[in-house]
Copies of this chain bind each other. A is one copy, B any other.
Amino acid sequence: MPIDEVDTPALLLDLDAFEANLAALHDAVRGSGARVRPHAKSHKCAEIARRQIAAGAIGICCQKVSEAEAFIDAGIRDVTVTNEVVGAQKLRRLAHLARRARISVCVDDPANVAELSEAADRAGVVIDVLVEIDVGARRCGVPPGEAAVSLVRAVKAAPFLRFAGLHAYQGSAQHVRAVTERRQQAAFAADYAAVTRDALARYNIACETITGGGTGTYLFDAASRVYNELQPGSYIFMDADYRRNDWDDRAQFRQSLFVLTGVMSTSGAGHVVVDAGLKALAVDSGLPAVHGRAGLEYTKASDEHGVIGVADRAVRPRLGERLWLVPGHCDPTVNLYDHIVAYRADRVEAIWPVVARGALW
């Protein structure tokens, strides 16, 4: 099917750019000693996970048990839940997944360690556990260094858990614009992880995995010699927010993700209206960019409408014309769609279900 026949709004993936991004990531980190475990929260799509693994990834990351369930149902066999899982219902489901796949999960609380071990016992499994340390993002995680050691010892003492390493993700560093500042924040995160690893070594506790890093910092993380596992997510897609970062040439990825939208009203003066609004585009990290059309700016989103300002010098879009938008933030945008329309040049090659869309639990 030609792209021209895809009805709007639609979520499009440029396969050439996507494949180039897959290859670029592995090329960039090759020889660093760091494995790649991409974050599937960005795409929620089993076909993309399979292609990431075929390109060299060792498995995937998820944030929610229900995401892990969707991917394991689709045949993925190695999943890290990069998040705390709290409460008996979720822990029972998580423990059952460990019968079907290699599962690891984060903890940052001794009470949670106890309930996790109990759930593993009931399911007849041993679960790999990463102790999450706060490396600067001030979200989840125990403080690095000695404070983390006691939680690691609690994990090691829990009969149905295996201590697998440290989760040291610095989410807010990813979007720091200037390269030098971003590198600095990544270095702080790596230092916090190294300090914790060294504190554990003093107790003769080996730290098999130190995992973290994202699309904004992965080159620094790979070069740190602290992280041995990287979990970038957005690199396959990119978005308008990540494009506002300054980039080293070598770290740059191509834009592969677009929202195709149709012009549904041209009766306004100075603007046209498109059919993709708040339910077709996440705007938490800013409004989308209009791709490849000078003088057009997406200026306002309402539930089902987007207002596109048309500069005086610009070519005014016609009724029914289609525009390509670069979403402000890829992850929550993908979560609005049931399907990704994968295309090459001007032809649709495949429709991929977003199997973990809406997987919140």
Contacts and interface: CB of A to CB of B under 8 A. Distances in A.
A360 B279 contact: yes
A336 B331 CA distance: 13
Contacts of A337: 358, 360
A134 interface: yes
Interface residues of A, number: 61
Contacts of A87: 7-8, 262, 320
Nearest to A106: B265
A44 to B, nearest CB: 9
A280 interface: yes
Given A9-B360, A140-B273, A264 B303 contact: no
Nearest to A335: B279
A219 interface: no
Contact of A265 (B64, B108, B273, B276): B108
Where chain A touches its partner, the secondary structure class is: loop
Given A142-B267, A265-B84, A360-B280, A109 B319 contact: yes
A7 B284 contact: no
Contact of A140 (B9, B262, B268, B336): B268
A301 interface: yes
Given A279-B332, A283-B284, A332-B279, A139 B7 contact: no
A197 interface: no
A266 interface: yes
A319 B86 contact: yes
A267 B134 contact: yes
A9 B358 CA distance: 11
A196 to B, nearest CB: 14
User: Counting chain B CB atoms within 10 Å of each CB, which of A7, A267, A273 scores highest?
Assistant: A267
A29 to B, nearest CB: 23
A19 interface: no
A327 interface: no
B304 A140 contact: no
Contacts of A86: 262-264, 275, 319-320
A189 interface: no
A79 to B, nearest CB: 15
Interface in A125-175: 134, 138-143, 171
Interface in A183-207: none
A139 B265 contact: yes
Given A140-B273, A304-B64, A358 B336 contact: yes
A63 interface: yes
Contacts of A304: 41, 63-64, 83
A283 B8 CA distance: 24
A7 B361 contact: yes
A119 interface: no
Interface in A347-361: 357-358, 360-361
- Of all A-B residue pairs in the complex, the 9 with the closest CB atoms, nearest first, are A140-B265, A63-B304, A278-B332, A108-B267, A86-B264, A84-B264, A279-B335, A303-B331, A7-B89
27 contacts: A7-B89, A7-B90, A7-B361, A8-B361, A9-B360, A9-B361, A41-B303, A83-B305, A84-B264, A86-B263, A86-B319, A87-B262, A108-B265, A108-B267, A109-B319, A139-B268, A139-B307, A140-B265, A140-B273, A140-B305, A141-B267, A275-B360, A279-B332, A283-B284, A284-B301, A336-B358, A337-B358
